[in-house]
Structure 1
């Protein structure tokens, strides 16, 4: 199972975003991860549509958008039109997650469903067959640079087992506190997409950091 590395722009230098996107791509990152926070669903505000519009102009690669906002159905059309290739939202953020998935697909984009550390995989099993990505948050969403929560690995394993049991090729993505050590744990548990921010953008050699996240998973 190959490992996809998604570089989180939350940790980049916003004054040099174009440069940092190029750095990430040249270092071997596969996707660019774009976090949207509204200060309501999570206790922080990140960036929104104008920044994504600029980021999209800086890359021809895959843009992986993570909506940490209430009622995401109000905004998926905006983020699709601005260039997201995949839009992942939280099951806890809406009363009708299936309708949000259908709307994302109707816009021609891949859809993902995310869960906070305290939300069980059972809560999304009925939705997994309808999405291309399952995001297991390995920290509490809202702030970058947090420490990885080891207890979330059980959910990664549960999601991967369910996906394999029903014969899907759905991604299992992890986000939060991902570095060389935690990446190895996440890969062993069944994750195939690793979101990393601080570890990548603060590395003296980003190419080596990307290589370390992949470990032996692609060999």
Structure 2
């Protein structure tokens, strides 16, 4: 994974056809997706249950690019090795998931994977400053975690802008998860985000049988973000 700040679109398979995950991953990548985002939920840290390491292992052969695994679980540490072994390229843990986030990030890094730090809408960024040497990605939740299809929380835009200033020239991605559409993508890109997680916005536009809709939506979100950021 070579670091740069170009806009990346990461469709969340939480919004895909659960009976056809492999085909869905291939379809969105063929249509221009940069990363595949996997939302792992435990019914404890968040009020929903989704996937585990076995599912990640099953879809890994179908993902040519980056598998971006977002752990909305608590505790995190006992499961890091399992998700690393299942083929995750990035493993993201929540700041709020436990009292020892520095240790968690160390454990992720020890597996050889990229380490991400997610923060909920109600969480400030002061603690992030003390973790910048441990992370490759900050995931800003622009919805409350637990369900797909929620509305974007506009108050998070200032948080994104502050994070971008805090990160400076460090090689750390700012990822946005929640409510990303053609309308909200420009707002977060202009504030400094470079990885946009889009679930319903992408998967509602097509199907495995008609994947062109996926491509149209991915291109539209990317173009809106690039224009807002002033990319050529």
Question: Which of the numbers 132, 144, 149 marks the counterpart of 2:136?
Answer: 132
| C-alpha separation in 1, matches of 2:48 and 2:33 | 26
Matches within 5 A, 1:31-180: 31-164=35-168, 167-180=169-182
Deviations 1:133-176 (A, max 9, x none): 00000000000000000001111111111001xx3020000000
1:190 corresponds to which residue? 192
- Number of residue pairs matched by the alignment: 217
Provide the aligned C-alpha RMSD in A: 1.0
TM-fit CA distance, 1:60? 2.4
Q: With structure 2 as the length reference, what TM-score do the two structures score? A: 0.91
| C-alpha separation in 2, matches of 1:120 and 1:36 | 23
2:27 is equivalent to residue 23 of structure 1: yes
TM-fit CA distance, 1:128? 2.0
Structure 2 counterpart SS, 1:92: helix
Pick which of 52-61 and 139-148 moved more. Answer: 52-61
Question: Which of the numbers 8, 14, 17 marks the counterpart of 1:10?
Answer: 14
Moved over 6 A (4+): none
Q: Which 5+ residue runs of structure 2 have no aligned equivalent?
A: 207-212
TM-fit CA distance, 1:211? 1.1
Q: With structure 1 as the length reference, what TM-score do the two structures score? A: 0.96
